[in-house]
Structure 1
Amino acid sequence: MRWWLYNVLFAVAYAVMLPQFLLRMKRRGGYRSRMGDRFGRYPSDVLARLRQMQGAVWIHAVSVGEVYVAGQMMRAMRAREPGLRFVFSTTSSTGWREAEKQVGPADVLVYNPLDFPLCVRRALDAIRPRALILTESEIWPTLIRACHRRGVPLFLVNARVSDRSAPGYRRLRFWFGPVLRMFSSILAQSETDKRRLVDAGADPERIDVTGSFKFDVAVRNPVKEQEVAAFLAHMDCGPARTVLLGGSTWPGEDAALLRIYRRLRPRYPDLRLVLVPRHFEKADAVQAEIERAGFACVRKSKEMPRDPTGGDSRPMGMHHSLLERDPSAPPVILADTTGELMGFYGNAQIVFVGKSLCEHGAQNMIEPCLCGAATVVGPYTENFRPVMSDLLEAGALVQVPNEMALASEIERLAGDAEVRNMLGARGTASVLRRKGVVDRSAVALLNAMPHHA
């Protein structure tokens, strides 16, 4: 009765969301050509490759962060079992594009089947996995039940239960408990996550607290750092300046940083502001915000390539008068390109991590800490609870409750190079000490899987 009810409710929910789902598919162009994957029907060439695979591990991830986690896990497992092959599934076109960078030539990338019994059965018949690995909070009951019935080992890695989800899991323990107890092993991010999973009905004997995979996912990019350093030096934001960076900012946070910058600039003439919005398609709105605050704006996307002959290499759209203006009013840099955030983190002295002041959840604060920047976050960091606990305990970053406190902290760091350098050094050391979770987890998973000849 319980499973019949779930299938009915899932079908109703899917029907309600289908128009929005189709509209998004049309807008993004995403997985329209692979819609059959959702029903367990794969293109003939994909099906042929799946049939040739023996003992492949099925790994599933959705968000970009989860895809990075899955990619790290794949590489760590393959380092210990070189012939290991993976079937990587995701649910969105964004996840697909990122997953394409993570899979190897011997792996197969598919869209996850809808969580209906027939779709799941077709997918399992085609993939015949040695094991199924789900990431973070990806709980698909029908898929989990079908794997369990077939004797396919189930693993949940980097498992977490958010503050928002925990009460619901606990109330629906009668439903989640039997599902969670089907996992062979759960690798949780923190003791809090373990307690919440147990409250939801999971077997405590099958849960190990490993720490967060996110510490391993963060990797510096020296090539990108050098490219960004050249750009910043050209914009008078080189090593002699103090770069304040807003990383992955959300609406409202750019305006807050601009207000703080406008107030501090007269007292700290070497301070420079760089904004890296979370969604680069909103760059026009951020530029308008910059100009309303009274600053000129330089957009990274309009940078002209340097002329190797020594000719004019001004950014597009900028006049000589802007570059030659009084340095007391330097432009604000708007980094509206993709894939360069780590390069900017490696060249910043002070970083504010977005989605933590005006939105809830926070972006990744591990990355600027790794790069040695003095890192500041707002009060809303729910998505990184175990990470924040570790970093705060180590004095690796500073958390502030509101914009006024953020302004005071930025001023403190802008005025004392020794303090910000020490904070940055603690951040780097703290992240490096916590690396290795992925390797240890890879060993644990391989030991728990059936041997494949």
Structure 2
Amino acid sequence: MSRIIYSFLLYLAVPLVLLKMYLRGRKAPAYHKRWCERFAFIKALPDNKPVIWVHSVSVGETIASAPMVKQLMALYPNHQFVVTTMTPTGSDRVKALYGDTVHHVYCPYDLPDVQSRFLNRIRPTLALMMETELWPNTVAACHKRNIPIVIANARLSEKSAKGYGKLGGLTRQMMEQITLVACQNSTDGERFKQLGLTDKQLRITGSVKFDITVDSEIHRQANELRKRWETGAERKRDILIAASTHQGEDEQVIAAFKQVLAKNKDALLVLVPRHPERFNQVFQLIEGNNLSAIRHSQTSETTPETQVILGDTMGELMKLYATADLAFVGGSLVENGGHNMLEPAALGTPVLSGPSIFNFNEISQELVSSGGMKLVQSSNELAEQASELLASSDLRNSMGEKGKIFVESNRGALQELLNLVQKTLKV
């Protein structure tokens, strides 16, 4: 496919994209706002400082990129930073992480005139794209202006590689125009090369998600929160957190937890849906299963009857992980590819995950091999494993320590990535 045909089809799709945004906005009103940014109708940045542009799609990529962005800000204090996202939740994370120290807008659509307008308004000296953000017109527009393009913390699943491969010459041309791909592992690196990337353009750095920092404040806040929960309950609780769950997965988690409760009346479930527009729906689901629940956003006060706490706030996941004795990482009992299991592992919390882990395929396999995570194939198996682990602090401590060691032994990708960015900016 040529880029002209690709662009023509994309222009035809714009009304459908806007309709989807409108419909999604009925549940998440933030999708109804700031549409102008998606077409790059934004205020031009002051031209007194050079600009580094970082694009992270949503919450996960924004959090993963934060240590890199903050270190770059320290290394380049005379630069301006533009951080773009595609989702309102990602936008909220950017504002929470950086405040007014970066410029944030939604990333504009991959249309030739839109990307031209966007680059004319921000004039970046470097474009850093997180993970698998490969957009032909964006790459071409940067290449035309001699703006280096670095794909940071890059990954490419087999499914994604096949999709890009079907675009033929369009993908090959895009690969030729990318300056550097800093890839998480050699398997994904080979997939990039099969699409046309050269050895000169590829570096295997590991994943910056291993470089997650857990400060003492997280543990302090988590300990205080857990004490409040247990004081209200008038007894010690065995806490299972199920985080980043998706539609069709909450039902399985709740069914598993009811089996856990049958064996352990002191168990407490902290259920954290991935998307905020589903908070109300999931709370109704919990109550519909005759479980006594509170919403974390409204109160931290439990009662002896409280069985479930709905984690319906943003930006507190690490703190909630730190309260727990055991973590189930969602997006994995449904075909969503899983979410970041390194976050609980870095805290020394034992991890359970479902079988759908293609977003973290190599990392998850290595974490399982290290003994820090177990895979479950069903709701019933989740109940069995959770019951066994909650019943034994020795098993939990051993598993959690192995996961923590695994994370710590794989740190270093962030520094290597920073070195590559510094070299790219000097060229």
Q: TM-score, normalised by structure 2?
A: 0.89
Q: CA RMSD in A?
A: 2.8
SS at match of 2:172: helix
1:403 Cα shift?
A: 2.6
Aligned residue in 1 for 2:232: 235
1:64 Cα shift?
A: 1.3
1:205 to 1:432, Cα distance in 2 relative to 1, 3 A? same
1:446 Cα shift?
A: 0.9
Distance 1:237 1:17 in 2: 51
Residues 174, 201 of structure 1: 8 Å contact kept? no
Q: Does 1:387 align with 2:363?
A: yes
SS at match of 2:323: coil
1:370 Cα shift?
A: 1.5
Alignment of 1:317-356 (within 5 A): 323=304, 331-356=307-332
1:284 Cα shift?
A: 4.4
Aligned residue in 1 for 2:346: 370
Query: What's the CA shift string for 1:45-68, capped at 9, x where partnerless?
Result: xx2x43222x21122222111222
Aligned residue in 2 for 1:297: 293
Residues 88, 110 of structure 1: 8 Å contact kept? yes
Aligned residue in 2 for 1:212: 207
SS at match of 2:10: helix
Residues 131, 152 of structure 1: 8 Å contact kept? yes
Distance 1:85 1:16 in 2: 34
Distance 2:208 2:401 in 1: 21
Residues 24, 31 of structure 2: 8 Å contact kept? no
Distance 1:33 1:294 in 2: 37
Aligned residue in 1 for 2:388: 412
Distance 1:19 1:264 in 2: 43
1:3 Cα shift?
A: 2.6
Query: What's the CA shift string for 1:203-253, capped at 9, x where partnerless?
Result: 132111111222224645234313422332223386x43222222233444
1:273 to 1:31, Cα distance in 2 relative to 1, 3 A? closer
Aligned residue in 2 for 1:71: 66
1:284 to 1:235, Cα distance in 2 relative to 1, 3 A? farther
SS at match of 2:233: coil
Distance 2:416 2:105 in 1: 27
1:104 Cα shift?
A: 6.4
Aligned residue in 1 for 2:13: 13
Query: What's the CA shift string for 1:70-120, capped at 9, x where partnerless?
Result: 332221223333333212233333332222234464543233333333322
Residues 226, 343 of structure 1: 8 Å contact kept? no
The one-letter amino acid of 1:63's match is S
Distance 1:288 1:106 in 2: 39
Residues 76, 439 of structure 1: 8 Å contact kept? no
Aligned residue in 2 for 1:198: 193
Aligned residue in 1 for 2:145: 150
1:26 Cα shift?
A: 7.6
Q: Does 1:83 align with 2:73?
A: no
The one-letter amino acid of 1:350's match is L
1:346 Cα shift?
A: 0.9
Aligned residue in 2 for 1:50: 46
Residues 51, 126 of structure 1: 8 Å contact kept? no
1:205 to 1:416, Cα distance in 2 relative to 1, 3 A? same
| Number of residue-to-residue matches in the alignment | 425
Aligned residue in 2 for 1:310: none
Distance 2:23 2:291 in 1: 38
Query: What's the CA shift string for 1:378-419, capped at 9, x where partnerless?
Result: 111111223213312322111122233323322321232211
Aligned residue in 2 for 1:319: none
SS at match of 2:239: strand
Q: Does 1:2 align with 2:2?
A: yes
Query: What's the CA shift string for 1:345-396, capped at 9, x where partnerless?
Result: 1121122212211342222211111222221111111112232133123221
Aligned residue in 2 for 1:122: 117
Q: What fraction of aligned residue pairs are identical, expressed as a percent?
A: 30
SS at match of 2:241: strand
Distance 2:121 2:308 in 1: 53
Residues 161, 191 of structure 2: 8 Å contact kept? yes
Which stretch of structure 1 is more off in the superposition, 82-91 or 194-203?
A: 82-91
In structure 1, list runs of 5 or more residues that go unmatched. 305-313, 316-321
Distance 2:416 2:357 in 1: 26
Distance 2:156 2:234 in 1: 41
1:425 to 1:150, Cα distance in 2 relative to 1, 3 A? same
Given candidates 241, 245, 249, the residue that maps to 2:241 is 245
Q: TM-score, normalised by structure 1?
A: 0.84
The one-letter amino acid of 1:376's match is L
SS at match of 2:46: helix
1:269 to 1:65, Cα distance in 2 relative to 1, 3 A? closer
1:282 Cα shift?
A: 3.5
Distance 2:277 2:17 in 1: 25
1:202 Cα shift?
A: 1.4
In structure 2, list runs of 5 or more residues that go unmatched. none
The one-letter amino acid of 2:411's match is K
Alignment of 1:277-316 (within 5 A): 277-303=273-299
Query: What's the CA shift string for 1:268-290, capped at 9, x where partnerless?
Result: 44433332333454444444444
Aligned residue in 2 for 1:225: 222
Which stretch of structure 1 is more off in the superposition, 56-65 or 417-426?
A: 56-65
Distance 2:234 2:74 in 1: 41
1:88 to 1:50, Cα distance in 2 relative to 1, 3 A? farther
Residues 247, 353 of structure 1: 8 Å contact kept? yes
SS at match of 2:113: helix
Distance 1:131 1:209 in 2: 20
Aligned residue in 2 for 1:177: 172
